[in-house]
Structure 1
């Protein structure tokens, strides 16, 4: 969410920043909406001030026993009171119009974010080569998994439809091992606090991290209670009162970041660093025909999330630290990867700046995203009303950051493809041996 006062103070800078994201100038329209809002506030205040003044005049008229004047004044008060609902409605409508417009505008990119229209404008930040010999080609993960009888897409389709998978046996254990390894790394070595959050959240939580309203079509929602199933059409209308609506989290960023919503923290508490391993749910509304084979783009997947809450002065440093923490996962798994700085046309709606970690997958002979680390500034904090009290005693908005540490399903893909052997077996990275009961190889068939 943007600060209308900052837009008023420097509209040209606001429009210039949004132009880098391909948007037309918006400051004039926003300031006009704010003028309407201010006028509605002034009208309501004027109405109340006049009523207060009339109350005194009525008292004076009654004291002077001027009944006719008192009656006239009381009639004016009644008229002013009768106008209150209309004035209140106008004020509410003006507030909503401005808030809705501000909520639909993406965050302003940092000055050092490269300009570009899409992923082709992203810039290499750094790369990392594994100590093992890099495979330049190989079988894809779903070929390996299906050949071993441990990855079943047909069974998943019978249960849930497309873009789901059933993992079995040693592959199921390997996925569990990866998640546990990541949690242990981030909590024991990187200082994150492990959290087990709900994966069903309300509208306010999704709005706070900017999944709503813009990305509603990308989310899964559920309704509470049998009545919702029987009367889904009416249940979809909150005014019906039939049920309560929840959202399945697309990432643990949503509940973790909202832990500080509607609160004022002490500066000495910061930074707060949270991590969680949760299932994530995405409708993938805009990905028809993309990555239809395998596990790369699923409706349900597991991910370890990293979230930081910090001061404005420390957020840039925290961003680099978070990136390093996510990279440590791939380094310990000895996987080759590169880090890309996303351009203005490819980074997320709430982000000021984003790094993508892309792991090498030899089955596709390309790099694929396995983590995004973003700094959001106070964009989410304003939507959540999350603040801290600085040394001057005044409340200020915190800065929020989020990143994948990392996507467990994609880590499984990367391990399978980079550690595959000619006979179809998969060598298990040494760092995972303690989580696999000493197992160092998943046998396959050809």
Structure 2
């Protein structure tokens, strides 16, 4: 959410920031609504002051025996008060229109974010690891998975497209990945593990930017709650409407949850396998920090996500997303893309974004600086995947496959697998 006062102070800079994201200038429209709102509020204050002054004069006039003038003043007060509800209603309507317009506008990118229209404008920041060389043609995960306990047909019968059953040691490997990620983020990187709600209200979805713009990509229950598309929603909204003390920051949360996405905007994409599912598991990372901490925290969070890939020996690259490929709430995003030998390409496995105070304004999440008793500031929020479990399972299957169709278990996961060294075809 944007601060109308900042737009008022420098509308040209605001429009310039939007232009970098391919959004047409809107400051003139917003400021016109803001001016109209402020005029109505001024009119309301003037009317109230006039009514108060007239009411005060009535007693004096009665005391002076000027009954006719007192009656005239009473009529004046009545007329003023009768006009005020209309002004109040109009002011509320204009304010709602202004808030609605502000809620639809994406965050402004940081200056170091490269300009671009789509993923072709993203910039490679670093590579880690070398793709393995196979003495056979590596298979894609869905072809491997059919013999290992991955059943799309049964899932299609029960739930439809974009669902899967995992069985046996493949299911155990999926569970091991989630547990290993949680242990890494809590034990090595100091995140606090949370078991959050996966059903949330409108305000929570609005706070992190899913509503109102992306409702079609979400699942909603019959009682009006929403299934979370990522634990970012539950974890970030933990501070919704709160004022925390500066000494409590940074707050770092992690959670392993099921996530649910309608994928309305991804029709026809990644229909094979488990790259893009309606239901999937992910370990989420969320940080709540002061503005001074957010830059360093973004790098820290990204390194925390990278550490999982490195521990698993999975080659990856870090991408700095361009303005046209960033998410709605982000000011800067690093994507981690893991090498998939079956596809012979890098695929996204984590996004780590810093949002500035954009989400905090929507959630009204603030902190009180140390040593102050009255003033508050908005917190900064960050979120990232540490990692997407299903996509990491894909990466392990494809990078650790053997010519016989088995999948070797990475060393880091063997303690979680009871010593199982390889998953053999069933």
**Is the contact made by 2:197 and 2:234 (CA closer than 8 Å) also made in structure 1?**
yes
Q: CA offsets per residue over residues 417-444 of structure 1, 9 Å max, x none?
A: 1000000000001111111111111002
Paired position in structure 2 for 1:407: 388
Name the stretch that deviates more: 385-394 or 311-320. 385-394
Contact preservation (8 Å) 1:276, 1:304: yes
1:412 Cα offset (Å)? 0.4
Q: 1:32 to 1:137 in 2, by over 3 A?
A: farther
Query: What SS does structure 1 have at the residue aligned with 2:211?
Result: coil
Helix, strand or coil for the counterpart of 2:265? coil
Q: 1:391 offset after TM fit, Å?
A: 3.6
Q: Separation in 2 of the partners of 1:408 and 1:69?
A: 79
Distance 1:60 1:366 in 2: 86
CA distance in 2, matches of 1:16, 1:93: 28
Residue correspondence of structure 1 range 423-442 to structure 2 within 5 A: 423-442=404-423
- Which residue number in structure 2 is paired with residue 37 of structure 1? 37
Q: CA deviation at 1:84?
A: 2.4
Shift of 1:392: 5.9
Shift of 1:191: 0.4
For residues 192-227 of structure 1, give each alpha carbon's deviation from its aligned partner in whole angstroms, at most 9, with x where no partner exists.
Answer: 001100000000000000000011111100023xxx
Which sections of structure 1, spanning at least 5 residues, go unmatched? 225-244
Which residue pairs with 2:291 in the alignment? 312
Residues 191 and 252 in structure 2, CA contact (< 8 A), matched pair in contact too? yes
Tell me the equivalent position of 1:26. 26
| Residue 282 of structure 1: aligned partner | 261
Question: How far, CA to CA, are the matches of 2:324 and 2:76 in structure 1?
Answer: 57
Specify the alignment match of 1:263 in structure 2.
Answer: 242
Partner SS for 2:69: helix
Paired residue for 1:389, among 355, 368, 378?
Answer: 368
TM-score (structure 2 length as normaliser) = 0.97
More off after superposition, 182-191 vs 70-79:
70-79
SS of 2:351's partner is: strand
Please tell me whether the aligned partners of residues 318 and 334 of structure 2 are also in contact (alpha carbons under 8 angstroms): yes
Task: Give the C-alpha shift of residue 268 in structure 1.
Answer: 1.3
Range moving further from structure 2, 175-184 or 62-71: 62-71
Check if 1:122 corresponds to 2:122.
yes
CA drift at 1:179: 0.4
Equivalent residue number for residue 417 of structure 1: 398
Deviates more, 1:424-433 or 1:392-401: 392-401
Q: Residues of 2 paired with 1:392 and 1:12: CA distance? A: 36
Match of 1:350 among 310, 314, 329: 329
CA distance in 1, matches of 2:89, 2:257: 42
CA distance in 1, matches of 2:330, 2:150: 35
Query: RMSD of the TM alignment (CA)?
Result: 1.2
- Rounded to whole Å, the distance in 1 between the matches of 2:92 and 2:101 is 14
Aligned equivalents of 1:33, 1:134: Cα separation in 2: 61
Give how far 1:382 is off.
0.3
Please give the secondary structure, in 1, of the residue aligned with 2:264. coil
- State yes or no: 1:178 paired with 2:200: no
Runs (4 or more) in structure 1 with deviation over 6 Å come to: none
Whether the aligned pair in 1 keeps the contact of 2:247 and 2:370 (CA below 8 Å) is no
Partners in 2 of 1:205 and 1:105 — Cα distance? 18
Alignment partner, residue 144 of structure 1: 144
Correspondence for 2:162? 163
Task: Say if 1:381 and 1:400, in contact at 8 Å, map to a contact too.
Answer: yes
Quote the residue 1:292 is aligned against: 271
Matches of 1:93 and 1:138 in 2, distance apart?
60
1:137–1:364 Cα contact (<8 Å) kept:
no
Q: Identify the residue that residue 208 of structure 1 maps to in structure 2.
A: 207
Change (3 A) 1:15 1:81: same
Count residues with an aligned counterpart: 423
1:227 maps to: none
Normalised by the length of structure 1, the TM-score is 0.93
